[in-house]
Each structure stands twice: as C-alpha cells, then as structure tokens.
Amino acid sequence: MIPIGLMFHHFRDGGRHLAGQGAISADQFDALLDAYADRILCAREWRERRLRGDLTSGEICLTFDDGLLCQYDVALPVLQARGLTAFWFPYTGPLAGAPDRLEIYRYFRTLCFPDVDAFYAAFDGFWNGTRWRRRILKGLSDFNPGNYLSEYPFYSEGDRKFRFIRDRILGREAFAEVMDSLIDTYPFDPAQARRNLWMDRRQLRALHEDGHIVGLHSHTHPTRITDQPFDEQKWEIDTNAEWLEKTTGDAPDCIAYPCGDYDGRLLAYLDARGIRIGFQSRLNDASDPMEVPRLDHVLAMDSLNETSIAKGP
C-alpha cells in the first residue's frame, strides 16, 4: 500500500457543532485513530519522509480540509491527547470577511431539515418555481447518477443529482441565487451560522506554532477551480498563500486541491510557487508527491463496521 492521507471535514459535539451529513463525534474519531494507530505519523515527519521517498508501505498522515471550527473544537483535543499533529487546509475567504456560501448552505440544511433527503425534496420543489427551471430540466434530461462522481462511492443518488445541478447546470452564482431565495423562506440567520463555522487567524496560528502544518486550499473554495480562467486560478492560490503566510509567518509548501480538482497547468504553477506536496480527495495508486491519495473518513469508518455516514457538503 502506498503512503496516503486520512481526510476529515465535519465533526459534531451535541451542541454548537451540529450532527449533520458527514459529521462524526470525538469518540468516533478516537476509535478511528485507534484502528490506524500503528500507521499514523505526525505531519512534519510524514512530509519530510514523503519528500525523501522513505515512507514505508501504508504509513499515513491526518488531514483536515476547510478550516472548520468544529475541527478545532472537537478533533484537536483528541489529537493533543495522543500527541499527534496533522495537516490543516483552510480556504481563507472567511478570514477576509468573505465566507464560503456552500458551507453556510450546508449549515442551513442541517439546521432546518430533519435529514438531507428532506432538504433535497425542498430544493427540487423550490427550483421548479424559479427562472432556472427550464435550464435545470434540460440539464437533467440525460443525467445518469451512476456515472457522476462515481469515484466517491458514499454519495447517494440524491447527493449526485444535487451536486450535478449545483456544479454542472447552474454554476456558482445561479446556484447561490436559488439557495439564497430558498433560505429567505425559512427562519435562518446566516450571520449566526458564520460565527459557528470557521477558525480565525489566532487558531490557525496556534496550530502552526504547535507543530501542525497549515497548507493551501484556495481562497474561495471553488468546486471546480480548473473551470475558471487561469488568472483566477492563480489568484485563488496566491491570495490563499498570502493570507496563510501573514497568519503563520511561513510560506505554505503543500496543498489539498479544493474538491480534488486540478490539472497539469495548475500543477506546473504550484511547482513554480514552491509547493512540494499536493493531496487529492480520492483513493488511488498515484505515487507522485503532488498527487497524494487520501481515504475519506466515511470509507474509513465503513471499514470499521461503523454506521455509514453520508458525505457533505
């Protein structure tokens, strides 16, 4: 087995951090670390050995995407109790006062609906009454959920359809128009949600000072960064790097590709910037240090015979 990363996103605590789609508890996280305990390395050791090429088969690191406050509040104490460090990949829009709407939308569907399928039903009913109805129906006319995002086996048909509408049919701005209008029909406060969602600069700096590695994940977290004009792709990387260097005092040298999306041109730009390690969001047999595979915690939990956890956002 090649060296990989374990990938984490959302955590729950029964209070401030909601038990939404994909969220695991501190106890579940601790149990997962128990299962992999003899293979986990601290972040800086894993990085240096990966670059030297002397990691042994199956040695893994821990990675946390998106800079979420629930990771700091729920997962970090578990790591500290075990003396472990990890890679943390925040997008930095929230630090600049420009929070990612997708994360707010995820919080909305968790807070205002009993489960994700109830949200999908409300979403489908709502867009049918908008000016985007015809475009969506046309885009779905030959949609086959089994062929979309097939590399992520934990997605349900509803997950795949929703993401296809979001990313392939509507795109970022039209999707935001639909979701913002839907939210207006519910008693939901986006400003309150923002206060519960992301780490601040002080917390990211503390991670860095405690031996963790803080790396790139873009500035605004586009779902398909390679669909953007290349100047915008470079802006995403450069702005993210600038914020992280101002926060930690060190220039980042690793990246987790937002939504796992990258191509050869982006890889060349990252190489020119001095980025030495890149993490995918899927598990495969890639051996290049700029394409490190990762095992999603959903699949890792399933391998422990835990209850299957559907993935978000």
pTM, full prediction: 0.93
Residues for the chain: how many in total?
Answer: 313
Cα four-point dihedral sign 63, 237, 293, 196: positive
Strand-strand pairing, 60-65 and 4-8: parallel
Nearest CA to 72 among 133, 128, 26, 139? 26
CB 259 within 8 A of CB 149: no
pLDDT tens column, 36-85: 999 999 999 999 999 999 998 789 999 999 999 999 999 999 999 999 99
Does residue 91 sit in helix, strand or coil?
Answer: coil
Question: In this structure, what are the phi and psi dihedrals at residue 222, rounded to the nearest 5 degrees?
Answer: -65, 145
Average pLDDT over residues 208-237: 98
User: Does residue 260 contact residue 280 with C-beta atoms inside 8 Å?
Assistant: yes
Q: How far apart are CA 302 and CA 281, in angstroms?
A: 17
Q: 21-53 b/e with 16+ CB inside 10 Å = b?
A: bbbbbbebbbebbeebeebbbbbeebbebbeee
State the DSSP code for 56: P
Interval 107-133: pLDDT, tens:
999 999 999 999 999 999 999 999 999
The full set of domain ranges for the chain reads 4-98+198-303, 103-193
Half-sphere exposure of 256 (CA within 13 A, CB side): 31
Residue 305: pLDDT band (50, 70, 90) is low
How would you classify the pairing of strands 254-256 and 4-8? Answer: unpaired
Q: Which amino acid is at 57?
A: S
Could you tell me which residues come within 8 angstroms of residue 68 by beta carbon, excluding any fewer than 6 positions away? Answer: 9, 10, 11, 103, 197, 198, 199
pLDDT in tens, 86-114: 999 999 999 999 999 999 999 999 999 99
Closest to 87 measured CA to CA, from 70, 71, 73, 100 = 71
What CATH topology corresponds to 4-98+198-303?
A: TIM Barrel (3.20.20)
Residue 153 binned pLDDT confidence (cut-offs 50, 70, 90) = confident
* Averaged pLDDT score across all residues of the chain: 95
Structure tokens at 208: 């860095």
| Cα 170 off chain centre by | 21
User: Is it the case that residue 310 has pLDDT exceeding 60?
Assistant: no
- Report pLDDT for 307: 42
Pairing of the two strands 277-279 and 60-65: unpaired
| Cβ contact 115:274 at 8 Å | no
252 in Cβ contact with 246 (< 8 Å): no
Assess contact for 215 and 250: CB atoms under 8 A: no
Whether pLDDT at 171 is above 60: yes
Work out the pLDDT band at 306, boundaries 50, 70, 90. very low
Token output for 103: 């994360």
Number of H helices, E strands in the chain: 14, 7
Helix (H, G, I), strand (E, B) or coil at 279: strand
Tokens of 216: 């790139």
Q: Give yes or no for residue 309 having a pLDDT over 70.
A: no
In this prediction, residues 183-199 reach a mean pLDDT of 95
pLDDT at 56: 86
